[in-house]
Amino acid sequence: MQPPTREKERLTPLSTLHLDEYDMTRHHWWTHSPSRALDTAVTRLRIGHTRLNSHLHKLGMTDDPHCPWCPTYLDTPEHLLLQCPRHHSHRTALLQSLYPLLLRRPTLADLLGGSPDPGLAFKILKHTRTFLQKSGQLHRI
Ligand SMILES: [Zn+2]
């Protein structure tokens, strides 16, 4: 009997996974990576329910809606992924990795798998996951 795909992914080293192994037609396809923490972060960013200060402020859970490093900018997914100078080096690496995909000025939707081309969406999201992991901000998402 074949193990469920999720189980198979958990047992497969990251370096041996290939994009083709993911079925883009699956429900919530972006949640089938080998990392539950990254899946959760991407889902939270996609639905806008994060632990970033802007969202916590809307819920009355913090007084300050601003970025911890940029006191005049709201702490939003857009700011984290596209603007915050704190993550400049990781963003530069992200943008360079998107260059071969002909994506020069990605939007937040692009970065979170919103491309109408599912294959491209998955490739972009893979790079966004790398950004999220390397920026060390998963605990805030
Ligand atoms: Zn910032």
Query: How confident is the model over 4-38, as pLDDT tens digits?
Result: 444 444 433 333 334 444 555 566 666 666 788 88
Low-confidence ranges of the chain (pLDDT < 50): 1-21
Q: At 74, phi and psi to the nearest 5?
A: -65, 145
Residue 21 is predicted with a pLDDT of 46
CA of 122 to the centre of ligand 1 (A): 26
CA of 65 to the centre of ligand 1 (A): 11
**How far, in Å, CA of 93 to CA of 99, rounded?**
10
Grouping H, G, I as helix, E, B as strand and the rest as coil, residue 74 is: strand
Residue 32 is predicted with a pLDDT of 65
What's the pTM?
0.77
Residue 13 is predicted with a pLDDT of 37
Residue 35 is predicted with a pLDDT of 80
CA of 117 to the centre of ligand 1 (A): 30
